[in-house]
Amino acid sequence: MRRQLVVSAFVSAICVPLLTGGRTPLLAEVAVAEVNALATTTLPVQLATLGSVGSMGIHYNAGGVDPYGGYEEMLRWDASGNWLTFDHDLTSATFGHPTGTVTGIRVPDTATYLRLESYPSTALGCDGDSALDDCYWETYDPWDPLHGAFHLQIEREVGTSWPSLGRITPPTPGDQFDGFVSRGRIVSSTPISEGRVHVDAFQIDCSPHEQCIAPPTTTTGVPYGAFASGSSRGELWTMGVTWPGHHTMFIEDVATGIKVQAIVDIAPTTLPTIDLDAPCFGFTTCVTISGAAAPTAPATEFHPMAPVRILDTRKELGISGGVVQPGDGSADTSNADLRVAAVANHELQVTGVAGIPEAGVAAVLLNVTAVDPAGDGFITIGPRPAGTGNVFDDQNSFGTWPSSSNLNLSAGVTTPNMVLVRVGAGGRIRFHVYGTTTHILADVAGWFGPSDVEVSGFTPVQPKRLLDTRHEADGQLTGGTTRLLTVAGVAGIPLDADSVVANITAVSPSGNGYVTAYPSGTALPDVSNLNLRSSVTRPNLAVIAVGDDGKIALRPELADTHLLVDVFGYYRSGSGAATTTASPFRIVDSRNGIGTTKAPFGSGERRRVEVAGVGEVPRNASAVYLNVTVVSPTGEGFLSVWPAGGDVPNVSNLNWVSGDTVPNMVVVGLGDDGSIDIRVDLPWDAFATAEVLVDVLGWTS
């Protein structure tokens, strides 16, 4: 096994005092006296300068006062590789100038730990007079395209000798270790001012269960790695001249105070993008060091897509390990392979997949289907959280999970639901399955993100039924046939709408099967919006791109069925309100009186629910994304949601049979007072009741 390069906690604040002048001369003089009083050993270190000059920070675990901006001692080097002491007196006219030469790194004999960090500069303008030349105290710049920095760390046991360090070659473009000039992107919904992002980066070795490019070694076999410390320029960040391999990065957004540590493999073609709006800035293996656990979700606009399947655990598409196991992917075991497999069985990469961008994605809109669950339970879907604590602990992102559900499961029953979910760390979302195992499918309808081009915002309309095949001459739809429905130019939907938000309900299907809704005039996609169960009336929300002829196509497979289509709003380029997503939070629970009366809904009962100004929802919200669930109804019925005020519309959002727990996503405008109305109908039993839960997924404003 290769020797592990350990990164110390202090590196997150390196070089700031160095670049701003260090501490007072008096303190430095005291410290130098203390160091000089120690019994020391000098370790010869040869440096291939490649024409550079610079400074070497020296840290060891012995000695008292720390005078050199985070280090026990500092040296300079000249272009010939000589090690130089220098004037540390800030008040001196020769501050920073060389004062003498040494043969190597001086380390107290009591030290058992030694760390070196280099700060090279280009030796342009040096006239060769090392006693007077000002170039030896020029500020290190990671944007120097010729000379990269390095770090090296060694440890020894008391009573043993230090290893010979040999000769060190710093990173340079095209060297034997494939050095390259790094330039990565930064994205944000807010302006990226000069120097807004600070990055410290260190090349490290892999953990025993990982595979990566091994760090370089000195001529005596001591491992070391590339190093960089600096701030962003424009919308770019840098690790300077670096080497491909495993790196730990400390990244700070100076504007928000959020600071994270991440572990990432980098190469010239795989430099990560820093997304300042994303949890952990978009990194997967990461922890939040300071500031908010995650950046505030930005206001975003909808980018519709042709529907495409990105998850099918039956085929190990998107998630590995087959059927999804109970839990959230955490694993109480010392077996690293089992821990990795458990995470992979519960997390789905959504950025960089199926046309979704790799960065700048705040949320995705998915139709999620639980297929043949082994028992009863439910699924909660949310962003992969940023980790806390030790970045090398692969269980650091597990903890409290939202007390809400997106799908409720019954043994053997295939159940779909539309889900709006914020994208989490590393561009991933996480599935927490309670009580059973199940296969899961996910079809993407679009994504949300800030953009400087014209994209679609959401506009709610008064809910209206556009299709009820029970009252049409053509009657129910036959399995394997397609019916077109005009949506543009009707019910308040403009002729140039990009997508419509509609609730589709299958009424009394002849057997098991599914329904696909897609843009008219396009190929039939391999997705489903609604799953059919023989004789069971079932709804599901869909966001459907509108075809060039202003129509959508509806096609049942494997069974005949009546269909209802109720429209609630639309997305259109250049208009509508921006969407903000949130971790789900509950605003109504009739079982315990949250947001409503503590009592189940009776048949025909209508209640008003305040939404704007509740929880995280702002008072200027114009519409909300909700997950509405009916729990333990004592009779068969349906539920309707609409903007507060006015008559009850002829629409439905949920349908159920007695005893079923049924969720469905609802996108609905808010009334003038920021509220919605909810009505439960149980027309076949005047004494039946139903409990109702409402979770907020996001809002428009």
What fold, for 579-700?
A: Jelly Rolls (2.60.120)
pLDDT at 180 over 60: yes
Q: What is the pLDDT of residue 3?
A: 32
Burial of 81: CB neighbours in 10 Å, binned 0-12, 13-18, 19+: middle
Instruction: Kindly indicate the confidence band of residue 69, based on its pLDDT and cuts at 50, 70 and 90.
Output: low
- The pLDDT of 626-631, averaged and rounded, is 96
Q: What is the residue whose two structure tokens read 């519309």?
A: 649
Distance CA 298, CA 294 (A): 11
pLDDT at 132 over 60: no
Dihedral sign from CA coordinates of 566, 569, 571, 572: positive
Q: What is the pLDDT of residues 539-552, one digit of tens each?
A: 999 999 999 999 99
Distance CA 606, CA 666 (A): 17
Distance CA 322, CA 374 (A): 13
Distance CA 484, CA 659 (A): 35
Sequence ranges of the chain with CATH classification 2.60.120: 456-573, 579-700
Contact between 44 and 108 (Cβ < 8 Å): no
Helices (H) and strands (E) in the chain, counts: 3, 45
Map residue 543 onto helix, strand or coil.
Answer: strand
- C-alpha distances (whole Å) from 311 to each of 39, 152, 526, 684 are 64, 43, 12, 39
Lowest mean pLDDT among 203-207, 313-317, 324-328, 445-449: 203-207
Question: Which listed CATH number (3.30.43, 2.60.120, 2.40.10, 2.30.30) goes with 456-573?
Answer: 2.60.120
- The pLDDT of 504-519, averaged and rounded, is 96
Burial of 37: CB neighbours in 10 Å, binned 0-12, 13-18, 19+: exposed
Secondary structure (DSSP) of 184-196: EEEE-SS---TT-
Distance CA 269, CA 182 (A): 10
pLDDT at 76 over 50: yes
- Comparison of pLDDT for 204 and 6, the residue scoring more: 204
Instruction: Kindly indicate the confidence band of residue 10, based on its pLDDT and cuts at 50, 70 and 90.
Output: very low
**Mean pLDDT of the chain, nearest integer:** 90
